[in-house]
A and B are shown apart, each in its own frame.
Chain A
Amino acid sequence: MKSKLKYFEDSIPKFIVSPTFLIMITFTYGFIIWNFVLSLTNSRLLPVYTFVGFKQYIKLFSDDKWWIALQNLFIFSLLFISTCIVFGLLLAIFIDQKVRFEGIFRTIYLYPMALSFIATGTVWQWMLNPGLGLEKFVKEMGFTDFTFNWIVDPKMAIYTIVIAAIWQSTGFVMILLLAGLRGINSEVVNAAKIDGASMPKIYWKIIIPQLRPVFFSSIIILLHIAIKTFDLVIVMTKGGPGYSTILPSIFMYQNSFARNQLAYGASSAMIMLLFVMIFVVPYLYNELRSKNEYSN
């Protein structure tokens, strides 16, 4: 039998993490359940717990604006993730070429991550200001026919968000890929050189395939950033012009707080969670499982 003292000693660690446990149960998982419950009600301005089944969800997927939001999210994510990865990879490869001033370049490419999305959105919506921004600059350089009014064009506005987001997040991907590049065993590269392969071929056939895990992590993280994108849109376009740049996060916020449709907003939030879970849960499961295998 364990002595009383031993029981006490063994309980201290559990005691220390118990507040976090309670917080997590209540404010994360408890709230998710609460939100789900809300989404099954008819609540408008205040929560009212009369259950109406999945009525809100049906309404959601018959709502044009929600479909616009999903479409925008798809376009945004695709462009954002692929451009950040390609751009980040190129930057990482170039920086890895033993350039001088590497530290300075890295600092410059990464500093946007230190800024809030609001600040980023502020400066980009200024630069893309039709009439006073870059459009005017290029016109005054002589290209008098140049127009760049994407930000007020319903069809093109979403791409301005993409541009700003890429500017902010490429540095992050670059850092991850640079670390990945540096973790590659140089002996493998040397063996390939002796075998006669040229550097581009070595990159394409040997180095980049070895970066697969880093690509995976980067894509998951970028996807996560894309789904959460809210600040950038709010400050650059407020979801406009009209509803052309609305995203699920904006949709949720507007319905929950501006339009007093609590339950409706709650349902859109649940769908957002679902999206994240579809990607993240298998990824996390795989990661944790392989880590445990190694440690055993």
Chain B
Amino acid sequence: MNILIKDKTLNIFVRILIYTLLIMCALYFLIPIFVMVITSLKDIYEIKNGNILALPEHITFQPWIEAWSEARIGSNANGIKPYFINSIFITVPSVLISSVIGAFNGYVFAKWKFKGSELFFSFLLFGTFIPFQVILLPMSQTLGTFGLTENVAGLIIVHIIYGLPFTTLFFRNFYVSIPTELINSAKIDGAGFLKIFLKILLPVSLPIFMVCIIWQMTQIWNEFLFGVTFADASTQPVTVALNNLINATSSVKKYNVDMAAAMIAVAPTLIAYIVSGKYFVKGLMAGAVK
């Protein structure tokens, strides 16, 4: 055996080791979704008698059809479709409204500071950390009083309220990085608050809008606690419906339908992630750089 291992050999060995470890970790992360997909394409016989990692012998889309429109969730047997639609109705307005308000707020906190604005911002920032359990009861009382649980409007309002600190944070950090001299120059040119926002900041704000929208969309679409507390049977979002399906005590367990339903539930955010992963990552980083 050579005592002297040449640097080059060591290097190659180390690189093979690195790639091997990275690939093994990749498998660890990919196996669950692989299992989700193949389980959703098997019939129940194969599931009971085969093993969890085996590819389906006969591919069937029946579980998907059942998950979408026939599965029994709660007291209805209309599948996950109505709840999927609920989620759309909840997510789209919440994302848009909270982002727009956040943009204006971020603009003020970054470029039009006033006495107390930094303190205000700190308190707002703290709001991103509170465990929502602590507002759950007061909010359910309030929504109940205004009859907003039978309406997706209730959840929309909740998501906007508790999304504002995040969207404000994103835009504020972004606008802080735009040189103030640009704003000053526009002020001297005669532009006021709104004109500076519309003509100078907004045209360069597309990246942060993308980040904010992707982040909010992921947060709101995947959200469960508010959904399970503030919605009634007709207004529940897809996450709550999925949980009801999985944990239904009264019916026979149909694992393939469960998995198909889960795939449907994650489809929008997963697709958004794959298509615009760059913005997703920026969102995570921006959220962390508080």
Chain A residues close to B by CB (< 8 Å): 9-10, 12-14, 16-17, 19-21, 23-24, 27-32, 34-35, 38, 47, 90-91, 94-95, 97, 99, 105-120, 122-127, 129, 132-134, 136-137, 140, 167, 171-172, 175-176, 179, 217-218, 221, 224, 227-228, 230-231, 234-235, 238, 248-249, 252-253, 256-257, 262, 265-266, 268-270, 272-273, 276, 280-281, 284, 287-288, 292
Say whether B52 contacts A137, CB under 8 Å. yes
CB proximity of A89 to chain B, nearest CB, Å: 13
State which of B57-65, B71-79, B204-212, B240-248 sits at the interface with chain A. Answer: B240-248
- A interface: dominant SS: helix
Number of A-B contacts (CB under 8 A): 255
Say whether A133 contacts B52, CB under 8 Å. yes
Say whether B127 contacts A24, CB under 8 Å. yes
Chain B residues close to A by CB (< 8 Å): 15, 18-19, 21-22, 25-26, 28-33, 35-36, 39, 47-48, 51-53, 101, 104-105, 107-109, 112, 114, 117-118, 120, 122-127, 129-139, 141, 161-162, 164-165, 168, 192-194, 218, 221-225, 228-229, 239, 242-243, 246-247, 255, 258-259, 262, 265-266, 269-270, 272-274, 277, 280-281, 284-285, 288-290
- How far apart sit A91 and B19, CA to CA, in the bound complex (Å)? 11
Cβ-defined partner of B36 (8 Å) among A23, A109, A123, A249: A123
Known: A16-B193, A224-B129. 12 other contacts (CB 8 A): A20-B101, A94-B21, A114-B280, A119-B266, A171-B29, A179-B285, A228-B132, A230-B224, A235-B246, A276-B131, A280-B126, A288-B122
Say whether A35 contacts B134, CB under 8 Å. yes
Say whether A116 contacts B247, CB under 8 Å. no
Known: A109-B25, A132-B52, A288-B122. Is A122-B262 also a contact (CB below 8 A)?
yes
Say whether A35 contacts B108, CB under 8 Å. no
Known: A109-B26, A122-B262. Is A115-B120 also a contact (CB below 8 A)?
no
- B interface: dominant SS: helix
CB proximity of A282 to chain B, nearest CB, Å: 12
Complex interface: chain A residues within 8 A of B243 (CB): 118, 231, 234-235
Complex interface: chain B residues within 8 A of A136 (CB): 51-52
Complex interface: chain B residues within 8 A of A109 (CB): 25-26, 29
Complex interface: chain A residues within 8 A of B139 (CB): 27, 31
Complex interface: chain A residues within 8 A of B246 (CB): 122, 125, 235
CB proximity of A59 to chain B, nearest CB, Å: 17
Say whether A249 contacts B18, CB under 8 Å. no
Complex interface: chain A residues within 8 A of B15 (CB): 97
Say whether B131 contacts A28, CB under 8 Å. no
Say whether A27 contacts B265, CB under 8 Å. no
Complex interface: chain B residues within 8 A of A99 (CB): 18-19, 22
